[in-house]
Structure 1
């Protein structure tokens, strides 16, 4: 057997494998003899058919099977011995196997395309700079949150006459054409000028307005127009009021406190305000952490400066998902895939170089944390704790064990990012909620 490597560029190459009869024939002969011992062929007692007949019947399929096995084993072994890191899987060069004469050929030549990156190092020191973001919850956000909670948990009424901030339920109709839509229209989401047309009216009142009176964003936010419905957002409209819905703000009393945080968790308005602020800060601390880590990944990926074999990877993704994705899909999603792949390479290299390992116990702990958060969000909470081990086991066995591997990767990433932050220059920066939103939009 002869294996040769031909590098076409810094990240793509071809591998040629030449097989002679001596490489495969002993295995083929052994397999055919085994077939002969077990074959049940009409006209012969079991195991007594002539080897020539067995060879004629099964020889080609056994030859193909054995050669494919030799190719797979040899290629994997050869690639493991290289200093570079193979990306994706080797791709057979098209049309090579189609030209093979399996019945008469003795020597065989095969060729594969591979994509790779050379081994790299990423030393960690204070020359690498990144930012640790801390979102500060201010009184403005606390007050806005409390006002929203008071509205959300307030009492609903159906007054006779509409006022500012009400929801008016009714039928929207275009003056020209057949377009109609029944909806609940929140006046708080309209401009003051347009909302004024709906105030001071009762049931069966008809409001007339023009599409030009509706500001950008109000069609979807207030009138709940879909993309398909946007084609009708022009010309004159009428809105016939069928009902008026008003929410009276909840009072800051014990009943309200208990609805938000549970029975007797807070017992005064001061405690309630403090609890809301602590809860908001805890939630934004988690968002700060996630954002900081995503920005840190960008810094590390840029520092590693890896050049991926883009053409090869696109071809491999298309063939690996044959029938499930198109070339257009691959081209569109490739930037996301490339970022994830580079981060995976960087994370694995940092874990290898610094002996960072994700242990089974870490996977269990992280899965429990995830499930607890899901239970808490659904209001189930601590009553599920007794069955936690069962939930964890079922989740980690899901998707044929892929959930476990995903969680293992997540644990490793957590450990790598934590380790990195200790080694590089991390400057803490306190930002407001508005500043955080601006960063997210960039």
Structure 2
């Protein structure tokens, strides 16, 4: 057997495997003899058929199976000996139909495409700059949240005549055209001038207005139109009122406090306000942590400058998915895949170089945290903790064990990112909610 490697670029190569008769025939003969001992062939007692007859019947399939087995084992062993890191799976170079004469050939040549990276090098020191974002919840957000809760838990009524802030349910129609849509229109999200047309009206009233009176964002935020529908919104419209919905704000009393946080969790307006602030801060702390880590990944991916075998990986993704994706699908999604693959290479290398390992106990604890977050607002705290081990076990066994592997990878990423933040020049930056939203939109 002869195996050669032809590196035709910095990250792609061709592996050539040449087999001669001595490489496979002994195994083929042994397998045929074993078949002969067990074969039940008409006219012969079980195991008494001549090997020559068994060879005529099974020889071709045994030959193909043994050669494929030899190829697979030899290729895997060869790749394990290499210093570079294989990406995806080797792709057999497809030969023309009938290019292999299994009956007559004694020597066989096979070729495989591979994609790889030679090494991943990423020194972690103060030359690498990163930012740790911290979002500060201010009084404005706390007050807005309380106002929203008062509206959400307030009493709903259906008055005869509308007032400012009501939701008007009805039919929107364009006068010159076929467009129509039934919707609930929150007047609080309209400009003062347009909202005035919907104040002081009753059921079955018809409001007329021009598309130019509606601001661009109002088409989606108030009327609920899609981007395509908003782009086509022109000319005169009518809105026929079917119902008027009004929500009276809930009173800030003990009943309200109990609805939000559970019985007797807070017992005064001051405690309620502080609890809202703590809840918001906890939520934004998680969001800022995720955002910090994603931004840090971008920094490390850019610094590592890993040259992926893009052409090979795109072909591998198409062939590995066996007709389930098209070239267009791969081209569209490839940048996301490439970024995730690059980060995976970086994370694994940092973990290897620094002895970072995800332990089973870490997986269990992270899964518990995830489940607690999912049930945070359910009010089932005590019951949840009592059955936590069952929840954890069911989740980690789900998806044929893939949930466990995903959580293991997540734990390793957490540890790697925590390690990275200790080693690089990480500056803390306090930002407002509005600044955070602006960063997300970039």
- State the 1:101 CA deviation: 0.5
Q: Does 1:211 align with 2:211?
A: yes
Instruction: Provide the C-alpha distance between the structure 1 equivalents of 2:342 and 2:360, rounded to a whole number of angstroms.
Output: 25
Confirm or deny: 8 A CA contact 1:96 1:110 kept in the other structure. Answer: no
Instruction: Provide the C-alpha distance between the structure 2 equivalents of 1:228 and 1:440, rounded to a whole number of angstroms.
Output: 24
- State the 1:379 CA deviation: 4.2
Consecutive unaligned residues of structure 1, counting only runs of 5 or more, are none
Q: Does 1:63 align with 2:63?
A: yes
Q: Does 1:349 align with 2:360?
A: no
Partner of 2:292: 292
Quickly say closer, same or farther: Cα 1:236–1:348, change in 2 above 3 A. same
Which stretch shows the higher mean deviation, 352-361 or 155-164?
155-164
Partner of 2:312: 312
Partner of 2:249: 249
Which stretch shows the higher mean deviation, 344-353 or 119-128?
119-128
Q: Does 1:49 align with 2:52?
A: no
Partner of 1:155: 155
Instruction: Provide the C-alpha distance between the structure 1 equivalents of 2:271 and 2:78, rounded to a whole number of angstroms.
Output: 67
Partner of 2:28: 28
- State the 1:123 CA deviation: 2.1
Which stretch shows the higher mean deviation, 6-15 or 177-186?
177-186
Q: Secondary structure of 1:272's partner?
A: helix
Consecutive unaligned residues of structure 2, counting only runs of 5 or more, are none
Q: Deviations over 1:310-341 (max 9, x none)?
A: 00000000000022100000000000000000
Question: RMSD of the TM alignment (CA)?
Answer: 1.4
Instruction: Provide the C-alpha distance between the structure 1 equivalents of 2:15 and 2:96, rounded to a whole number of angstroms.
Output: 13
Q: Does 1:340 align with 2:321?
A: no
Instruction: Provide the C-alpha distance between the structure 1 equivalents of 2:299 and 2:398, rounded to a whole number of angstroms.
Output: 34
Instruction: Provide the C-alpha distance between the structure 1 equivalents of 2:333 and 2:351, rounded to a whole number of angstroms.
Output: 27
Quickly say closer, same or farther: Cα 1:263–1:377, change in 2 above 3 A. closer
Q: Does 1:237 align with 2:237?
A: yes
Confirm or deny: 8 A CA contact 2:163 2:200 kept in the other structure. Answer: yes
- State the 1:230 CA deviation: 4.5
Partner of 1:373: 373
- State the 1:80 CA deviation: 0.7
Partner of 1:126: 126
- State the 1:145 CA deviation: 0.9
Confirm or deny: 8 A CA contact 2:262 2:379 kept in the other structure. Answer: no
- State the 1:225 CA deviation: 2.4
Confirm or deny: 8 A CA contact 2:120 2:346 kept in the other structure. Answer: no
Partner of 1:202: 202
Quickly say closer, same or farther: Cα 1:268–1:377, change in 2 above 3 A. closer
- State the 1:182 CA deviation: 2.2
Confirm or deny: 8 A CA contact 1:170 1:240 kept in the other structure. Answer: yes
Which stretch shows the higher mean deviation, 333-342 or 297-306?
297-306
Partner of 2:9: 9
Q: Does 1:404 align with 2:408?
A: no
Instruction: Provide the C-alpha distance between the structure 2 equivalents of 1:296 and 1:55, rounded to a whole number of angstroms.
Output: 62
Instruction: Provide the C-alpha distance between the structure 2 equivalents of 1:123 and 1:178, rounded to a whole number of angstroms.
Output: 63
Confirm or deny: 8 A CA contact 2:167 2:244 kept in the other structure. Answer: yes
- State the 1:227 CA deviation: 5.5
Instruction: Provide the C-alpha distance between the structure 2 equivalents of 1:13 and 1:377, rounded to a whole number of angstroms.
Output: 54
Confirm or deny: 8 A CA contact 1:179 1:232 kept in the other structure. Answer: no
Instruction: Provide the C-alpha distance between the structure 1 equivalents of 2:174 and 2:383, rounded to a whole number of angstroms.
Output: 53
Q: Does 1:95 align with 2:130?
A: no
Confirm or deny: 8 A CA contact 1:32 1:51 kept in the other structure. Answer: yes
Q: Deviations over 1:367-395 (max 9, x none)?
A: 11111211224443331222211211111
Instruction: Provide the C-alpha distance between the structure 2 equivalents of 1:98 and 1:306, rounded to a whole number of angstroms.
Output: 40
- State the 1:420 CA deviation: 1.0
- State the 1:221 CA deviation: 2.0
- State the 1:176 CA deviation: 2.7
How many residues are paired up? 442
Confirm or deny: 8 A CA contact 1:96 1:111 kept in the other structure. Answer: no
Q: Deviations over 1:55-92 (max 9, x none)?
A: 01111110110010111111011001001000000011
- State the 1:103 CA deviation: 0.6
Partner of 2:170: 170
TM-score, L = length of structure 2:
0.97
Q: Does 1:277 align with 2:277?
A: yes
- State the 1:13 CA deviation: 0.5
Instruction: Provide the C-alpha distance between the structure 2 equivalents of 1:353 and 1:377, rounded to a whole number of angstroms.
Output: 41
Instruction: Provide the C-alpha distance between the structure 1 equivalents of 2:93 and 2:407, rounded to a whole number of angstroms.
Output: 36
- State the 1:121 CA deviation: 2.5
- State the 1:430 CA deviation: 0.5
Confirm or deny: 8 A CA contact 1:137 1:281 kept in the other structure. Answer: yes
